[in-house]
A = this chain, B = another copy of it.
Amino acid sequence: MMDTPLLLTSFLKRAERYYPEKQIISRTSPTMTHRIPYKDYVKRTRKLADALTKLGMKHGTKVGSFAWNHHRHLEAYFAVPCAGAILHMINIRLAPEHIIYVINHAEDEIILIDGDLFPLFEKAIPYLKTVKHIIVMQDDFNVPESTFENVYSYEQLLADASEDFEFPEDLDENTPAGMCYTSATTGMPKGVVYTHRSLVLHSITLGLADTLGLCEKDTIMPVVPMFHVNAWGMPFAAVNFGTTQVLPGPMFTPAILLDLIEQEKVTTTAGVPTIWLGVLQEQEKNPRDLSSLRGIVCGGSASPKGLIRAFEQKLGIPFIVGYGMTETSPVVSLSNYTTAMEDLDYENKLNIRATQGLTVPLIESEVVNENGPVPWDGTTMGELRLRGPWIAKEYYKDERTSEAFRDGWLYTGDIAVLTTDGYIKITDRTKDLIKSGGEWISSVDLENALMTHPAVFEAAVIAIPHEKWQERPLACVVLKEGANATKEELIDSLEGQFAKWWLPDDVVFLNEIPKTSVGKFLKAKLRDELKGYELKI
Contact = CB atoms under 8 A, between A and B. Distances in A.
A462 to B, nearest CB: 33
A186 interface: no
Nearest to A20: B422
A10 B216 contact: no
A338 B216 CA distance: 7
A388 B4 contact: yes
A204 B210 contact: no
B387 A339 contact: no
A230 interface: no
Interface string A337-373: 0111000000000000000001101101000000000
Specify the main secondary structure of chain A where it touches its partner: loop
A197 interface: yes
Nearest to A198: B1
Contacts of A362: 4, 6, 10, 200, 204
Contacts of A361: 10-11, 14, 204, 207, 240-241
Interface in A413-448: 421-422
Contacts of A197: 1
A412 to B, nearest CB: 14
A501 interface: no
Interface string A150-180: 0000000000000000000000001000000
A26 interface: no
Interface string A171-213: 0001000000000000000000111011010001101111001
A10 B215 contact: no
Given A207-B210, A364-B13, A4 B387 contact: yes
A339 B209 CA distance: 17
A197 B391 CA distance: 18
A339 B2 contact: no
Interface string A477-510: 0000000000000000000000000000000000
A197 B210 CA distance: 21
Interface string A210-222: 1001111100000
A112 to B, nearest CB: 24
Contact of A391 (B2, B200, B242, B358): B2
A216 B339 CA distance: 7
B18 A393 contact: no
A204 B388 CA distance: 15
Nearest to A4: B389
Nearest to A408: B2
Nearest to A219: B339
12 contacts: A1-B174, A2-B393, A3-B174, A4-B388, A17-B422, A18-B358, A204-B362, A208-B208, A208-B241, A209-B209, A209-B214, A216-B339
- The 6 lowest CB-CB distance pairs between A and B, nearest first, are A209-B215, A209-B213, A1-B198, A207-B208, A210-B215, A2-B393
